[in-house]
């Protein structure tokens, strides 16, 4: 198995873990609180939006594993991760696991996604 393929599985697993476990199954309630505070929602609305975001993240993992439109997929991932983390950095740093340092991990994940597609993907 190539390094590119292995990293694809890892990246998809990150999206599944965050989408399914953290948001859909609500095993990390902090995610619902983050959504609620950013969007200024009551608890039931924040729960619904958090679950929808979770399903979207699961969809991202499926898209990654499908191998379709990989460059569009990478651009979408980078845009989503950057946007989400900028909003969290500015609006709710107190709810993040590592506070504002979360942005460092987000940036490293973005670099990994970019490197995997544009340097390791031999199909392109």
Whether 31 contacts 50, CB under 8 Å: yes
Cβ burial 107-124 (10 Å sphere, 16+ → b, else e)? eebbeebeebbeeebeee
**pLDDT at 1 exceeding the cut of 80:** no
- The whole-number pLDDT of residue 122 equals 83
- Supply angle C-alpha 111, 23, 104, rounded to 5: 25
- The whole-number pLDDT of residue 45 equals 97
**pLDDT at 109 exceeding the cut of 70:** yes
Q: Euclidean distance between the first and final Cα of the chain, in Å?
A: 17
Task: Render pLDDT for 33-65 as a digit per residue (tens, 0 to 9).
Answer: 999 999 999 999 999 999 999 999 999 999 999
Residue found by looking up tokens 């039931």 in the block: 44
Neighbours of 93 (CB within 10 A): 14
pLDDT interval class at 124 (50, 70, 90):
low
Percentage of the chain modeled with pLDDT above 90: 96
């Amino acid at each position: 198995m190539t390094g590119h393929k292995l990293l694809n599985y890892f990246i998809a697993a990150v999206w599944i873990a965050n989408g399914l476990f953290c948001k859909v199954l609500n095993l990390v309630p902090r995610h619902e609180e983050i959504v609620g505070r950013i969007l200024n929602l009551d608890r039931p609305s924040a729960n619904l939006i958090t679950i929808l975001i979770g399903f979207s993240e699961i969809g991202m993992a499926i898209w990654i594993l499908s191998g379709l439109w990989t460059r569009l997929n990478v651009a979408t991932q980078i845009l989503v991760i950057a946007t989400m983390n900028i909003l969290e950095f500015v609006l709710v740093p107190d709810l993040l696991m590592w506070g504002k340092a979360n942005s460092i991990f987000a940036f490293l994940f973005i670099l990994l996604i970019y490197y995997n597609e544009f340097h390791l993907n031999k199909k392109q």
